[in-house]
Chain A
Amino acid sequence: MKVVNIITFIVAFMLLISGIYGLNLGPFSIEGGQHQRSNQIGSYLCISCIGLSGTRVSHDLTDETLERLKKINYPVEIWVFTSDDCPTCPDAKAIIFNFTVENPNITYQEIRLETQPELFDTYSVSELPTTIFFNKDGVVLRKDNFVYKIIGIDRLQEKTIEAIEMVS
């Protein structure tokens, strides 16, 4: 029994150290150690993965949205925070892309976690996908002193058009 105890002890701490110092085991490898990786997973949560938001929405804009979109005559910039792991981020991107197609005043930019993680921190984005809005001066849209964020893809269309009208 003593031998088993000692072996488990050693194995447990070996695993811990290997996790911290990036000794990756397994068919696929990742950038950095599992230590950093787990930080990424924990900090920037794909909320559809946890089942907090729906996973299926249609990308087509409704007639009501189009009507309201046509009235917009000021430039609006939309940022979509995405990640490679996130299964619903492409949906969000597609919907926002449809907005830019319908109205040239609206532009969008994709912020990827893998390339620009510092922007996630500046806007304190911890969920994916997240959408935020800027006006022509590059000032972020705020509501009640907080950055106005649309999290997830549930009713993204309705929320986005409301936000665009709020930018003015």
Chain B
Amino acid sequence: MGKIKKIRTLSQSISLVLINIGFLGIFVKHLTFPVFNCYACPWASIGCPIGLLQNFVMNGQVPTYVMGAMGSVFVVVGSAFCGWICPFGFFQDAIDFVKGIIKKNNKKTVRKRKINYKSIDLSLITRLIVLLTTLVLAFTFVDTIFCKLCPVGTIQAAFPYQITYGFSYNIWLAARIGILVLLLVMFFVISRFWCRYLCPIGALAGPSNKISLLKMYHNGNNCDGCNICKDVCPLDIDVMKDQNSSRCTRCADCIDKCPKGHLAFGLDIFGLVAVSPFKKKKPKVPEKKAVVTSSKGIPEVEKRLETEVSEQRRQDVSEEFKYEDKEKLVERPTYMGFKKGERVYVPYEEIKKIGIRPPKTSLSVLLKQYSEGRLGEDYNATEAFVDETVGEKLRDTPKTFPREEVDKKYFEKFRIPKRTELHSEHLKYLKNLDVYLDVKAIANSIDDIPAVLLAIVDGSDRIKFQYMNTREQSANWYYKDKLPSVYINEKYYNSLFSEDEIIYKIKLEKYMIENTSLVLDYKKCIGCNAQNCKKVCDIFNKIPPMEDGYSVYPLKEFDCTLCGKCLVECERGGISFIFGEKHIEDSNFSIETIKKNRELISSIDPKTFMLFLEKNKKHSNRALNYAIALSYLSHGKLSYQLIDISINEELALKRNISAVPCFWISNKIQVSGMISESSILAFVRKISKWKE
């Protein structure tokens, strides 16, 4: 139930009580409102307009008072009384509610059929006929014939009278019960049947929608035409075509359900229109704020990130890109009375097998040791696993003590704290990691670094971990708006500090490194004086120079982390990366224009994009180089994810990708096909909303 519907239900139930407040002795029967409530009800406190109309007509008067009372309501709010106050409308809504419960068990969603043929709207005509016959009958027979058949009277007056003063049969009673039963059946078939076809008050209320002050408006600019408004309408009005239909009861269900919030009530004061603003429903994710720096690096006004984009990205990345092997790792065997599947600390025995030492010293000391490079030695040392303390403990305990309990007590003490709370599978994966990774954490203090990250870093000796204080000069290059910030291979990964996420990122990086190769093109590299590559990275000292041709080096072989520093720093374009092993010569390749916009790219906000590539293709290689350059120039804030389209067809098919290679953030923000430098810059402009 939507918010407006809740308010409406509340309003209906309160007005039901207020209209029938006669049980407190309050009667204001000279008042009348355009609501359908029998005045013969023992508790009814106001008059029924139709009953009064008949009485006046029958006595040969023009019913000015009743018409005025109804009309003055109609000209202001139209038929809003029907939807929000009328007790009989409430009754029909209640039946709809029951109907909804019954239907829910059978079917999930019902979309109304689109009616292609032109149907004539007879509802207003039938209602007018009912009203006119009522008045004509009253005038000719000098009797309130309508009241004798009225279904509201049956519910509100006939049944109470029959119960209190004893049952007495007359022909009208039979007729009215018959009509009520018929109507009840019709209510279950057609919702709001009475309001739609029969209500004599509705005959006057319906047309008043066109002239009343209260009107409904629709902002058609961004409408998708989803027609949800039509589906939820209890009266089957095509809301898009006619917002102020003569059938409308102003129940506002369509306003409630419109996913974009394009429908709203407004006041039309003789042409002066005051419409409540079309509000977009805000996403429940907290809004991201970012300081957009100018090209000079001075922070400017705080600007909101575009919610639509970030929301989409959030959905896609978090749902589809979750750790793939997660299902295999959820369960773990039971240890000593712990439940299966529960997250338990790894016992001493298993840690011993894997090779991680339980910390005897505090975390900060360990970290210090680690940074000094002393901790790595301890892993393989047998001293760490000497059972001295265990022996002492065992000696102290009485011998009659059951063995299991001793074990339990002992292990409870030795359970490794927070930082090694890893899946054993993860630990095995990290132990077997054969790719060199570079992890950096920038934080205000050592304690701020997420413990999971430390645990993961501890898990493998192929990961080089470096802690940076924010005040250090070397940390200036890194993004520091959200601390602690974590860089894996000089790419900013800060979305979630969960175990699975970080491992997944590591897997991504591993895949990247395994599938890309460095190419040194000696046609362009002429052994320049600057030797930028050698200054930037030690790797180039190892590579022997050649005189002509090119050489391909798979990154895995010489512990490259694919940071892209060399690609950007080399001024002659001799260094490039390829996806695959086969080198395809690309004479037009250059990243000069991207490099020129270095400052502007560096002001971008962190984002992850997907890069759909094919192996051993010229344009794919070019796109990869652009991506690496972008990632480095944005100070690692633009991280990317390589997807080989020949392996992962599903991922590409889910998205509207027109061509490969493709830079993809959302369906709206993507660049595909033959990618040029200018299209990359346009892509950057799109994602950052950056202006010159």
B40 CB–A CB distance under 8 Å? yes
Q: Which residue of B lies closest to A33 (CB)?
A: B65
The complex places the Cα of A5 from the Cα of B272 at a distance, in Å, of 13
A71 CB–B CB distance under 8 Å? no
Give, as a whole number of angstroms, the nearest-CB distance from A72 to chain B.
Answer: 23
Q: Is the CB of B270 within 8 A of A47?
A: no
List the A side residues contacting B165 at CB < 8 Å.
151-152, 154
Instruction: Identify which of residues 167-218 in chain B touch chain A, using a CB-to-CB cut-off of 8 Å.
Output: 168-170, 172-173, 176, 208, 211
Q: Which residue of B lies closest to A52 (CB)?
A: B161
Q: Is the CB of B30 within 8 A of A53?
A: no
Q: Is the CB of B52 within 8 A of A8?
A: no
| Cβ contacts A81-120/B at 8 Å (1 or 0 each) | 0000101000000000000000000000000000000000
Q: List 18 A-B contacts (CB under 8 A).
A: A8-B75, A12-B72, A14-B68, A19-B65, A19-B66, A24-B62, A27-B61, A28-B60, A30-B61, A38-B32, A42-B30, A50-B51, A51-B153, A51-B158, A51-B172, A151-B165, A154-B165, A155-B168
Instruction: Identify which of residues 123-145 in chain A touch chain B, using a CB-to-CB cut-off of 8 Å.
Output: 126
Q: Which of A19, A28, A41, A52 contacts B64 (CB 8 A)?
A: A19
Q: Which of B141-149, B296-304, B342-350, B642-650 contacts A (4 or more CB under 8 A)?
A: B141-149
Q: Is the CB of B64 within 8 A of A39?
A: no
Size of the A side of the interface (Cβ < 8 Å), in residues, is 51
List the A side residues contacting B46 at CB < 8 Å.
42
Q: Is the CB of A2 within 8 A of B149?
A: no
Give, as a whole number of angstroms, the nearest-CB distance from B272 to chain A.
Answer: 10
Q: Which residue of B lies closest to A12 (CB)?
A: B71
A interface residues with partner B (beta carbon < 8 Å): 1-2, 4-6, 8-9, 11-20, 23-30, 33-39, 41-43, 45, 47, 49-55, 85, 87, 126, 151-152, 154-155
The complex places the Cα of A11 from the Cα of B67 at a distance, in Å, of 10
List the A side residues contacting B65 at CB < 8 Å.
15-16, 18-20, 33-35, 37-38
List the A side residues contacting B63 at CB < 8 Å.
19, 34
List the B side residues contacting A27 at CB < 8 Å.
60-61
**Known interface pairs A8-B211, A52-B161. Does A38 touch B30 (Cβ–Cβ under 8 Å)?**
yes
Q: A15-B72, A154-B170 are in contact. List 7 more A-B contacts (CB 8 A).
A: A6-B270, A8-B211, A12-B71, A19-B67, A30-B61, A41-B52, A47-B40
List the B side residues contacting A29 at CB < 8 Å.
61
Identify the 3 closest CB pairs spanning chains A and B, nearest first. Answer: A19-B65, A16-B68, A15-B68
Q: Select the residue from A14, A18, A37, A41 with max chain B CB neighbours within 10 A.
A: A41
Give, as a whole number of angstroms, the nearest-CB distance from A25 to chain B.
Answer: 4
The complex places the Cα of A51 from the Cα of B46 at a distance, in Å, of 20
List the B side residues contacting A9 at CB < 8 Å.
75
Q: Is the CB of A87 within 8 A of B270?
A: no
Q: Is the CB of A38 within 8 A of B168?
A: no
Q: Is the CB of A34 within 8 A of B72?
A: no
Q: Is the CB of B39 within 8 A of A42?
A: yes
List the B side residues contacting A155 at CB < 8 Å.
166, 168
B interface residues with partner A (beta carbon < 8 Å): 27, 29-30, 32, 38-40, 42, 46-48, 51-52, 55-56, 59-69, 71-72, 74-75, 143-144, 147-149, 153, 157-158, 161, 165-166, 168-170, 172-173, 176, 208, 211, 270-271
Q: Is the CB of A49 within 8 A of B30?
A: no
**Known interface pairs A8-B211, A85-B59. Does A51 touch B147 (Cβ–Cβ under 8 Å)?**
yes
Q: Which residue of B lies closest to A154 (CB)?
A: B168
The complex places the Cα of A50 from the Cα of B55 at a distance, in Å, of 11
Q: Is the CB of A47 within 8 A of B64?
A: no
Q: Select the residue from A2, A12, A24, A50 with max chain B CB neighbours within 10 A.
A: A50
Q: Which of B40, B55, B61, B144 contacts A24 (CB 8 A)?
A: B61
Q: Which residue of A lies closest to B173 (CB)?
A: A51
Q: Is the CB of B270 within 8 A of A34?
A: no
Give, as a whole number of angstroms, the nearest-CB distance from B661 to chain A.
Answer: 58
Give, as a whole number of angstroms, the nearest-CB distance from B25 to chain A.
Answer: 9
Give, as a whole number of angstroms, the nearest-CB distance from B12 to chain A.
Answer: 22
The complex places the Cα of A161 from the Cα of B113 at a distance, in Å, of 65
Give, as a whole number of angstroms, the nearest-CB distance from B161 to chain A.
Answer: 5
Q: Which residue of A lies closest to B207 (CB)?
A: A8
List the B side residues contacting A49 at CB < 8 Å.
143-144, 147-148
**Known interface pairs A38-B29, A38-B32. Does A45 touch B71 (Cβ–Cβ under 8 Å)?**
no
Q: Which of A2, A35, A53 contacts B170 (CB 8 A)?
A: A53
The complex places the Cα of A126 from the Cα of B211 at a distance, in Å, of 39
Give, as a whole number of angstroms, the nearest-CB distance from B145 to chain A.
Answer: 9
The complex places the Cα of A24 from the Cα of B65 at a distance, in Å, of 9
List the B side residues contacting A38 at CB < 8 Å.
29-30, 32, 47, 52, 55-56, 65-66
List the B side residues contacting A45 at CB < 8 Å.
39-40
List the A side residues contacting B211 at CB < 8 Å.
1, 4-5, 8
Q: Which residue of A lies closest to B74 (CB)?
A: A12
Q: Which residue of A lies closest to B70 (CB)?
A: A12
Give, as a whole number of angstroms, the nearest-CB distance from B177 to chain A.
Answer: 11
Q: Is the CB of A42 within 8 A of B172?
A: no
Give, as a whole number of angstroms, the nearest-CB distance from A34 to chain B.
Answer: 4
Give, as a whole number of angstroms, the nearest-CB distance from B267 to chain A.
Answer: 12
Q: Is the CB of A50 within 8 A of B40?
A: yes
The complex places the Cα of A87 from the Cα of B153 at a distance, in Å, of 19
List the B side residues contacting A87 at CB < 8 Å.
143
Q: Is the CB of B72 within 8 A of A42?
A: no
Q: Is the CB of B148 within 8 A of A50?
A: yes
Q: Which residue of A lies closest to B38 (CB)?
A: A50
Q: Is the CB of B27 within 8 A of A5?
A: no
Q: Which of B29, B42, B62, B72 contacts A26 (CB 8 A)?
A: B62
Q: Is the CB of A51 within 8 A of B149?
A: yes
List the A side residues contacting B75 at CB < 8 Å.
5, 8-9, 12
List the A side residues contacting B42 at CB < 8 Å.
126
Q: Which of B56, B71, B172 contacts A34 (CB 8 A)?
A: B56
Q: Which residue of B lies closest to A49 (CB)?
A: B144
Q: Select the residue from B30, B52, B169, B270 with max chain A CB neighbours within 10 A.
A: B30
